[in-house]
């Protein structure tokens, strides 16, 4: 039987590539739900092509436009953030691919897990913000959390058939972004146009800026802690400019397993959608002859302070990763709007971590209130 998939954030980079995978495997997958925040025109186009059971446009201002355009088709149209939480509970859904941006992905994921839906997770923030809560709930509901990030997918693939107790450490690789080797002074003069030019990956604006500042790698460290049940000391970040080795696992006997491939997000997307099977694909193949040199180096956590702040948040625990994430979301928007310098993003995040109320054992409501408080503190800092 075909696997029926809900794609949350279908108009973004991950969502559009996921639909490419679905299109190339019509015998395996069927689109059940598509959602978008504000890109109504692309959502309409996707809905007409893939004929889902339902679509959700989170920005209610675009509901009339979507409703009218899809009137001739047997597609249910909903609007608003509450609808995102409700639609993932549909009985017909087998798998929810979460490709939302930021904190907004937390509540829909929780609703999906409570409804017993398996999750393909491209939106790392739910685990960054509330990893303990999400993974505990997933365990209770016997729901799989399948990683879509290329790094976590690599770790996941390396662990197939292995005893998790034998894992000594993991290496999360990072390209280093467009500013690898820059000093703090050089980074202070960086403009958004430069930061949006990632050397290896084509992604949305938010994750591209996070990659340039190494915050994305910091968020991935926190996500890996919860996905794989690791201690912070077992997670090491290593700069790998070629982006061919997507990540590695080191075992207690000293052996290391790595997953390699060209930087193409369709590969980890397809792996998560098809799991536990591995489907054939026509993606370009990696050639060792064409890539004879693979290099690795330590990250500079002095110049790229965001990575150090992420480790601090992870060690601190409680709601501190939630504070880190909320402050970073505000900082990235401010940087993209020319209201904050590249290095000043770290200053804003550190100020928020030092100022916001700390909760050692947060509930879902605590996370929601922490997010609100942090955004207010960060906004005040920018004034």
What does DSSP assign to residue 149?
A: S
- What would the two tokens of residue 273 be? 């959608």
What is the chain's mean pLDDT, rounded? 95
The answer to which of 114-128, 135-149, 188-202 has the lowest mean pLDDT is: 188-202
Q: Which domain holds residue 198?
A: 152-262+285-301
What is 310-376 written as a DSSP string? HHHHHHH-TTHHHHHHHHHHHHHHHHHTTSS-TTHHHHHHHHHHHHSPP-SS--HHHHHHHHHHHHH
Tens of pLDDT, residue by residue over 50-93, are 999 999 999 999 999 999 999 999 999 999 999 999 999 999 99
Say if residue 241 is in the same domain as residue 101. Answer: no
- Side-chain-side CA neighbours of 223 within 13 Å: the count stands at 27
Assigned domain for 269 exists:
no
Residue 47 near residue 21 (C-beta atoms within 8 A) = no
Say if residue 98 is in the same domain as residue 198. Answer: no
pLDDT average, residue stretch 187-212: 85
Q: Of 116, 147, 178, at which residue does a domain stop? A: 147
pLDDT average, residue stretch 220-234: 96
Phi, psi of 216 (to 5 degrees): -60, -40
Assigned domain for 74 exists:
yes
The answer to which of 47-61, 181-195, 201-215, 367-381 has the lowest mean pLDDT is: 201-215
Say if residue 46 is in the same domain as residue 80. Answer: yes
Assigned domain for 121 exists:
yes
pLDDT average, residue stretch 130-134: 94
- Residue 289 has a CB neighbour count (10 Å cut-off) of 5
Secondary structure of residue 30 in the 3-state scheme: strand
- Residue 382 belongs to a domain with what CATH number? 1.10.1740.10
Q: Tokens 């505000």 label which residue?
A: 330
Structure confidence at residue 38 (pLDDT)? 95
Assigned domain for 308 exists:
no
Proportion of the chain above pLDDT 90, given as a percent: 93
pLDDT average, residue stretch 124-138: 94
Say if residue 95 is in the same domain as residue 176. Answer: no
Residue 149 near residue 172 (C-beta atoms within 8 A) = no
Rg, C-alpha atoms of the chain: 20
Say if residue 72 is in the same domain as residue 209. Answer: no
Say if residue 122 is in the same domain as residue 159. Answer: no
Say if residue 241 is in the same domain as residue 359. Answer: no
Assigned domain for 307 exists:
no
Say if residue 90 is in the same domain as residue 214. Answer: no
- Side-chain-side CA neighbours of 374 within 13 Å: the count stands at 30
pLDDT average, residue stretch 310-327: 96
Q: Of 274, 301, 328, at which residue does a domain stop? A: 301
Q: How confident is the model at residue 148 (pLDDT cuts 50, 70, 90)?
A: very high
- Residue 54 belongs to a domain with what CATH number? 3.40.50.720
Say if residue 129 is in the same domain as residue 225. Answer: no
- Beta-strand ranges (E) seen in 39-152 are 54-57, 76-79, 95-98, 118-121, 145-147
Q: Tokens 């207690």 label which residue?
A: 252
Structure confidence at residue 151 (pLDDT)? 96
Structure confidence at residue 204 (pLDDT)? 77
Say if residue 14 is in the same domain as residue 65. Answer: yes
Secondary structure of residue 169 in the 3-state scheme: strand
Structure confidence at residue 229 (pLDDT)? 95
Assigned domain for 271 exists:
no
Proportion of the chain above pLDDT 70, given as a percent: 99
Say if residue 39 is in the same domain as residue 97. Answer: yes
Structure confidence at residue 207 (pLDDT)? 85
Structure confidence at residue 201 (pLDDT)? 66
Q: What's the total number of domains in the chain?
A: 3
Assigned domain for 11 exists:
yes
Query: How far apart, in Å, are the Cα atoms of 59 and each of 27, 90, 286?
Result: 33, 21, 41
Assigned domain for 280 exists:
no
Say if residue 25 is in the same domain as residue 140. Answer: yes
The answer to which of 137-141, 197-201, 299-303, 313-317 has the lowest mean pLDDT is: 197-201
Q: Of 147, 177, 208, at which residue does a domain stop? A: 147
pLDDT average, residue stretch 199-217: 85
- Side-chain-side CA neighbours of 361 within 13 Å: the count stands at 0
């Amino acid at each position: 039987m075909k696997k029926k998939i809900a794609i949350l954030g279908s108009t973004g980079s991950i969502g559009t590539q996921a639909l490419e995978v679905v299109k190339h495997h019509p015998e395996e997958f069927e689109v059940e739900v598509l959602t978008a925040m504000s890109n109504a025109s692309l959502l309409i186009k996707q809905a007409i092509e893939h004929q889902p059971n339902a679509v959700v446009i989170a920005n209610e201002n675009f509901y009339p436009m979507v409703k009218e355009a899809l009137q001739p088709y047997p597609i249910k149209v909903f609007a608003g953030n509450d609808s995102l939480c409700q639609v993932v509970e549909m009985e017909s859904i087998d798998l929810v691919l979460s490709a939302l941006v930021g904190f907004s992905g937390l509540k829909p994921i929780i609703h999906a897990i409570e409804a017993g839906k398996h999750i393909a997770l491209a939106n790392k923030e739910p685990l960054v913000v509330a990893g303990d809560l999400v993974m505990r709930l997933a365990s209770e509901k016997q729901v799989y959390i399948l990683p879509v990030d290329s790094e976590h997918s690599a770790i996941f693939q390396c662990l197939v058939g292995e005893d998790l107790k034998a894992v000594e450490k993991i290496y999360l690789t990072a390209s280093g972004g467009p500013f690898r080797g820059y000093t703090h002074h050089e980074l202070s003069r960086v403009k958004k146009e430069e930061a949006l030019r990632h050397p290896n990956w084509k992604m949305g604006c938010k994750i591209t800026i996070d990659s340039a500042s190494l915050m994305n790698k910091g968020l991935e460290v926190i996500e890996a802690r919860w996905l794989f049940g690791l201690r912070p000391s077992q997670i090491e970040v290593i700069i790998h400019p070629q982006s061919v080795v997507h990540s590695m696992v080191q075992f207690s006997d000293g052996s290391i397993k790595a997953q390699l491939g060209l930087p193409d997000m369709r590969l980890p997307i397809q792996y998560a959608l098809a799991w536990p099977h591995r489907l054939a694909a026509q993606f370009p193949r990696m050639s060792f002859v064409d890539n004879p040199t693979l290099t690795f180096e330590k990250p500079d956590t002095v110049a790229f302070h965001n990575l150090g702040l992420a480790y601090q948040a992870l060690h601190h625990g409680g709601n501190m990763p939630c504070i880190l994430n909320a402050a970073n979301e505000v900082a990235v928007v401010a940087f993209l709007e020319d209201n904050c310098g590249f290095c000043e993003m770290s200053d804003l995040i550190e100020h928020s971590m030092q100022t916001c109320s700390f909760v050692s054992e947060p509930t879902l409501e605590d996370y929601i209130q922490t997010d609100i408080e942090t955004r207010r503190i960060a906004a005040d800092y920018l004034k």
